[in-house]
Amino acid sequence: MYTRFERTGALTELGSYPQWAQDMVADCEQAKQGVLGHELWARMSEARLDPLSTRNFMVGVWPVIERFPAYMALNLLKTRYGRSPGDNLARRWLVRNIRVEQNHAEYWLNWAEGAGVAQEAVTMGRPPAGSQVLASWCEEVSRSGDLAAGIAATNYAVEGATGEWSQRIYASTAYAESLPEEGRGKSLRWLQLHAAYDDTHPWEALEIVCTLAGTTPSADQVRHLEECVRRSYTSMCITLDHCIEQQGRSGMRVEAAA
């Protein structure tokens, strides 16, 4: 039976949300840490990510960046104004934030160019094999999943983890100084925005999910939402793995040839 949820505590405090949501976040924490602790971020923040891996990252993640407003639009299509408090909250939030997302693809291309990857290489290049896992999952859950699952998987999980790794890279003086001084601010714009607004964005998404599901969702619904969140984290890791793995395989071929 649906029991309405209305947040009374602070937006960014986990205790403000139902116990089932607190448990879901805790149960998915290890998977999230797999994303945040990925080797790619260490190499990037220390300005030692090689050119091929940089290219793989910019090209491999591009499909998610380019399609992210579309994922949100697909979830917007599931809403019906007046059907429920969750629908109303999701509708207002998605309409507002689709506009926020509209320039992020351009900012990503600016970042890639500053990192030495031409815009045409990003938009027209072939992603490294296996790196499409995250884009495919986001498309699937946004198109076919229910509204709560779509928002949990994309706006809560993907954007939440992205906001945290973005902070790490943006705070790195070594990384900033590895970019050409001319146009450096433009190159860092994508990181700057995600390191800032995503601090509250995933919490807003979690509030929507909880409003949609209520305080007493079924065990099956909670299990499904948890699986969607965990799958997003796992898909992010797989995508990042392939950005580095391509470089590793290339290096082995060079050594073998030598």
Domain definitions of the chain by residue range? 60-257
pLDDT digits (tens, 9 = 90+) for 198-234: 578 999 999 999 999 999 999 999 999 999 999 999 9
* pTM for this prediction: 0.92
Q: For all residues of the chain together, what is the average pLDDT?
A: 92
Phi-psi region of 37 (alpha: psi -120 to 50; beta: other; left: phi over 0): alpha
Contact 89, 155 (CB under 8 A): no
Residue 100's pLDDT band, with cuts at 50, 70 and 90, is confident
Helix ranges restricted to H, the chain: 19-27, 29-36, 39-45, 51-76, 85-101, 104-114, 119-124, 133-144, 147-151, 159-170, 173-178, 184-187, 189-197, 201-213, 219-257
- 253 pLDDT more than 50: no
- Alpha carbon distances (Å) from 96 to 76, 166, 177, 251: 11, 22, 34, 45
> Could you tell me which CATH class the domain 60-257 is placed in?
mainly alpha
- 24 pLDDT more than 90: yes
Residue 254's pLDDT band, with cuts at 50, 70 and 90, is very low
Q: Give the amino acid at 130.
A: G
- 15 pLDDT more than 60: yes
The percent of residues in the chain predicted with pLDDT above 70, rounded, is 93
pLDDT of residue 196: 80
pLDDT average, residue stretch 3-25: 96
